[in-house]
Structure formats: C-alpha cells, structure tokens
Amino acid sequence: MRRLAQSTDPDPNFTMYVIRRSSDGRAVGGFGFFGPPDEEGRFEFGYSLIPSARNQGLATGAVQLGLSFAARHGAKFAVADREASNLPSQRVLANAGLLETGRDGSLILYSRTLSADG
C-alpha cells in the first residue's frame, strides 16, 4: 500500500477506495490501483483490512469489484504480489481468480487476464 500512497497519477478512476462493511457502513479497509492500466492494459492493485474485518470475505469481494471496475474501464490484465508468509492474502487473490505466475525473493507474483465484465 505504501507504493500506492506514493503514486502521483491523476487518473480519477484508478485511485484508492474505502472498503466499508455493508452491515453498518463502517470503513474497515482500502482497495487501490497503483495507477491506470499501461499501454497493454496491465495494472497493479493492493488492499488492506483492519484485523477485525478479516476472514469475512470483504477483501475477496473488494478485489472482485476492483477487477470488474478495471475491466469496464479498459483494463485487460491484473497483477499483484504478496509476501510468501501472507497466506490469508494469497487465498484472497486465488479466490478472486488470480494465478501464481512466479516468485521474486520473498514475493509471490500473481496475474489474471480480465474479460469485458471482469
């Protein structure tokens, strides 16, 4: 998320979004794009939840919504990375249809080709 906060890209669509719990509207995390898709339609994203909001499907739902949103705005290919030690986040990415594509040190790399509806 640190890289996301440092992004200076002004695209109003590919920015940060608050994740709110539907039961009470409480802000429990964030989802964001590391800028708009590149010339090939590729983009990177990240997300985070407060500990009490984890293991409720909120992160998976946010990622699925984010991928669908990106596809509707012309994105074609999603990429993300996670620490090998972060098993819950790896499950989120797998549940959202991303596949492991490689490793870079302690990071696991993921990607997914998007259809028109995400």
Residue 21 has pLDDT above 80, yes or no: yes
Q: Can you name the CATH fold of 2-113?
A: Aminopeptidase (3.40.630)
What is the C-alpha to C-alpha distance for residues 68 and 79, in angstroms, rounded to an integer?
14
Q: Give me the residue label for tokens 């898709």.
A: 37
Alpha carbon 22 to its chain's center: 19
User: Would you state the pLDDT for residue 11?
Assistant: 75
Per-residue pLDDT, averaged over 54-61, amounts to 95
Could you give the CA distance from residue 24 to residue 96 in angstroms, rounded to a whole number?
24
pLDDT for position 6: 53
Average pLDDT, integer, range 7-15: 72
Angle between helices 58-72 and 87-95 (to 10 degrees): 50
The answer on pLDDT for 15 being more than 70 is yes
CB atoms within 10 A of CB 85: 9
CA-based max dimension of the chain: 40
